[in-house]
Amino acid sequence: MSAPARASAVRAVPASPIAGTRHRPLPIPSVRLVGGPLAVWQQRNGEDTIPHCIEQLEVYGVLDNFRRLLGESDAEFRGLVFADSDLYKVIEAVAWEIARTRTRAFDSWLDDVIALVARVQEPSGYVDTWIQGVAPEKKFAALEWTHEMYVAGHLIQAAVALVRADGRTDLLDVARRLADLLVERFGPGGQDGICGHPEIETALVELYRLTGERAYLDLASRMIDLRGHGLLPVGSLGAHYFQDHRPVRESTAAVGHAVRQLYLNAGVTDVFLETGDDSLLRAMDAQWGSAHDRKMYLSGAFGSRHRDEAFGDDYELPSERAYAETCATVADLLWTWRMLLADGRAGAARYAETIEREVHNALAAAVDATGTRFFYANPLQLRRDHHSEENAPRERASWYACACCPPNIARTVAALSAYVATVADGALWLHQLADAEIDLPAELGTGTVRVITDYPADGRIEIRVEGDVVPGAELSVRIPGWSPRSTVVGPHGPRGRDGDGYARVPLEPGARYVLDLDLTPRLTTAHHRVDALRAAVAVERGPVVYCVEQADLDAPLDVDDLAVLPAPITVGERDTLVLTCRVINAAGGLYGPDTATDFGDEHTVTAIPFSTWGNRAPGPMRVWLPRAPR
């Protein structure tokens, strides 16, 4: 194992400044989540989720798929064609955990699994256990289904993460041989080919950023240019499913398989960040509006159709049939972060607020309080008689036959601190309001910014500047759109929310700033075109979406018979809310005359954060409730 000095543990940092880009990420070790719910989550992820994922790789045969190729296992191939990617995502999770904590607990496991992958790799650089052991005749011959480049992408990202986190290059050696094979096979003058499941694009850009090898960036650009020209035999699913229906620069709507679209967009935005190709950013601006202004669930989830795991039409957002795959939220977080880095037109606030919504709601709901049970689909309503499906069960599962989501959660949570702050325009930008310590980058000083808060349970955020700061440096603090009148109060008086959604204050040694956000619970309505949510409301407090769960209702109350009254909402114990509801008379036929709804008595009911539902007993749950007249 080669171990040069540890590289900077940064996610998605452009190799060179591009006109129109503003923000630069900070290394993961430079931003430490030290308190509050995100720090607790990261600790649980490192102590419970990652070890659980490692254990499941053995239980479900992922490592045996490698061993059987070496004659070290008699087991048949197990899992789906892309099972190798589960291993690579877990390796990436371990890498970011090393960057975060400097733990050495996973070293021997890394030694074993990286050596295993290296021994399976062919002299050409090719490595994919399903192709090598089950269907060698399909090597690069059925790109619409084999996921070969998708798997390669996750291998490359794991390798890059290990170098950035720990200076470890043994997996990078494997990844570069595979990437060089892809360049030789699919680069200029080679085969025209794209993967049915995008992911390789962003991985190649990250490898370029690490190594400086231009061929990797050029291949990512070429694959983006080739998409939308009918290279994939799409079959009954149609070209939209694969995002092969239209060239990327002409695609203005988020369509098809949600995870594939969002991973593709992350790669496209990465190529813009490196090349400055403005036509790519224009397409991504349009796509971002399509996905977030017309197709995103309130929780920060995506994908309204179980069939094809796909985006639906504009405003097609059914609560109980939401597919809302966890991986789609992860993919969008990766894309939205890159759009924030490219900020120069729309402003960073809308991207930062989307990341906040995703982290505190859809992503948090996808894993239980033990860190070892997961949701694949994340509906916003569960009916009493919901038919449990393999990837949409009534309760969380410890693993899945298609296990893409659990390790995706693990790698994302391990790297959460990457999304807290950036440096741009001579200022430290605080995007996520979390209890954290942030080491200033060299151009701003050698000090630390300490953020002290119990947000989002409490709206008070205190910021202290410690150590040396470069004269003239500034601090930009995001003030959420749901609390627009809040101000950052410091030595120079209050500063309010500018047009870009941030309050800008001097970054001075010893300075202390306080931001008090309005966390008054509020009722939210959906756009009138969302037919599934007409005359319904949801409850939010700060960035947190709430739901009513049957576990909190006394018999005979049923969550599906509640209607919210326009009465004050109060804060209860343990971050719960208390709503006033009336009971709808559930008697009568399926249809009847157009008469006034028969409401029963008033009741106060408890609402809990959507992120915590399903931790007690499986049962009905609703985010959106009908609105009742007084």
What structural domains does the chain harbor?
33-419 (1.50.10.10), 422-516 (2.60.420), 522-626 (no CATH)
Q: Which whole number is the average pLDDT over 561-571?
A: 93
pLDDT at 105 over 60: yes
User: Rounded to a whole number, what is the distance in angstroms from the first to the last CA of the chain?
Assistant: 70
**What are the counts of helices (DSSP H) followed by strands (DSSP E) for the chain?**
17, 22
* Residue 152 three-state SS: helix
Q: What percent of the chain is predicted at pLDDT more than 70?
A: 95
Say what the pLDDT of residue 4 is: 33
The one-character DSSP state at 512 is E
- Read off the pLDDT band of 587 (50, 70, 90): low
For residue 24, the surrounding DSSP H or E stretch is: strand 24-25
The whole-angstrom separation of Cα 502 and Cα 353 is 11
The whole-angstrom separation of Cα 347 and Cα 624 is 30
- Beta strand extents in 274-406 (DSSP E only): 381-382
Say what the pLDDT of residue 630 is: 64
pLDDT at 389 over 80: no
Say what the pLDDT of residue 5 is: 33
161 vs 234, higher pLDDT: 161
The whole-angstrom separation of Cα 39 and Cα 45 is 10
Encode pLDDT of 18-54 as tens digits: 544 689 999 999 999 999 999 999 999 999 999 999 9
Q: In what order do the strands lie in the sheet with 493-495?
A: 31-33, 436-439, 448-453, 460-466, 512-516, 488-490, 493-495
Q: Which whole number is the average pLDDT over 494-510?
A: 95
- Read off the pLDDT band of 592 (50, 70, 90): confident
Beta strand 493-495 pairing with 381-382: unpaired
Say what the pLDDT of residue 344 is: 60
Nearest to 429 by CA among 517, 534, 328, 343: 343
- Read off the pLDDT band of 10 (50, 70, 90): low
Output the average pLDDT for the chain.
93
Before 629, cis peptide (omega within 30)? no
Alpha carbon 233 to its chain centroid, in Å, reads 29
Encode pLDDT of 183-222 as tens digits: 999 999 999 999 999 999 999 999 999 999 999 999 999 9
Least confident of 123-132, 443-452, 589-598: 589-598
Least confident of 408-412, 461-465, 579-583, 620-624: 579-583
Before 456, cis peptide (omega within 30)? yes
